[in-house]
Amino acid sequence: MDVQKILSAVVCIFVLASCGNKSPSTVFPENGAMDSSACTGQAIQNKFIVQWEDGKFTVEQAANADEFTKNFIEPQLEKIRYVEFDRQIQTSKTDGIQANAYSDSWGQTKIGAPSLWAQGIQGQNVKIAVVDAFVDTSHPQIKPRIAVNTAEIPNNGKDDDGNGIVDDYYGASFVSIPNNNPTPSSHGTHVAGIIAADERYGSVQGVAPRAQLIPAQFIANDGGGSLGDAVLALQYSASRGAKIINASWGGAPCVASLRNAFVELQGKGILVIVAAGNDGRDVDVYPEFPASFGLANQITVAASSVSDFMTSWSNSGFNLVHVAAPGERILSTVPGNSTAYMDGTSMAAPMVSGAAALLWSARPTASALQIKESILQSVDVVPGHEFKVKTQGRINVQKAFEVLKQLVP
């Protein structure tokens, strides 16, 4: 299956510093309380996620929490909204590559994408961020779809556009945790291809084959990463003009900063598509994050099978998982000018991201909530095939377009 967290999910209490009586202990409540935290083993003791009062995030380092409090928080207390330990996330290895072949675009066909392609609706002018592992921007089906940062001069070792990122011409990497695996993960490239692979240059046709992709890597080749790096990747995606962010991964529990980052995206009108996870759990009962945040700008996605049933391994939830989408035996791009079949809710989520891009390209003035509502109101619910999700159905972008035309004439 695809990349997902292996940490146990627990119910998280999100704490924000109060507007009044601000002190180092109110903006950094974990310091001194780590012994009782269920997340003690996940915390990186010398790395800290800082949310500033203007809503921006940074990731800072110090020898320990006490030194960080004294030398960083106290001198800047009035500018800081919230501080939290960064945490490692160790994701499972990708093991869903399938050798046997199926209809190359069964998922795209099942959700009705070809009918919109025939009308010239192919995701034009919509930017989707792939916040994930490595995306092979040299792949012939991916390269034409990259949202190039023309304010940056590639490979000159300089931050030409002054955004704090050097050489982010084809996207950016926020991986800070070292790993010794030289082989790029297939995960991010596979996700990117499901969304927007250009069919003119290979065998895969993305759901939105004229959309633009913003690669924002935070997962290393070995499947490890940091939630602080994830927050920075989300923030970067917003700064690059992403309308949609695809999050085909799961995070550690008890992290308010990740939820706060999603809230900031909500305020910017960005739609976030999240994989439900592959543990076969009900995330209403056993929360996983970010799948269980339940924010207004979020669609959490379960996986449907070739036979249009819920897969046995997909997470579910009648409250917090919204829709199902094809996630079994999905053909897409992988590094090295190649393709492969993979399984997972990580494959289902980009089906929805691509569908949202089609809808937004057809109705550019629509809001994120209108795009979401059109998708949720138009699912296919087949008797005997009902899904354990809020809508009980699998997405149908053709029907969603008809709904959206009523919301945004």
- Which of 186, 292, 346, 374 is catalytic? The answer is 346
Active site residue 190: no
Neighbours of 175 (CB within 10 A): 18
Location of structure tokens 């499947």: 223
Active site residue 282: no
- Which of 139, 187, 190, 322 is catalytic? The answer is 187
In this structure, what token pair is assigned to residue 179? 């790993």
Active site residue 385: no
Query: Is the dihedral angle over the CA atoms 264, 265, 267, 272 positive or is it negative?
Result: negative
Cis (ω within 30 of 0) for the bond into 140? Answer: no
- Which of 2, 86, 132, 198 is catalytic? The answer is 132
| Residues belonging to the active site | 132, 187, 346
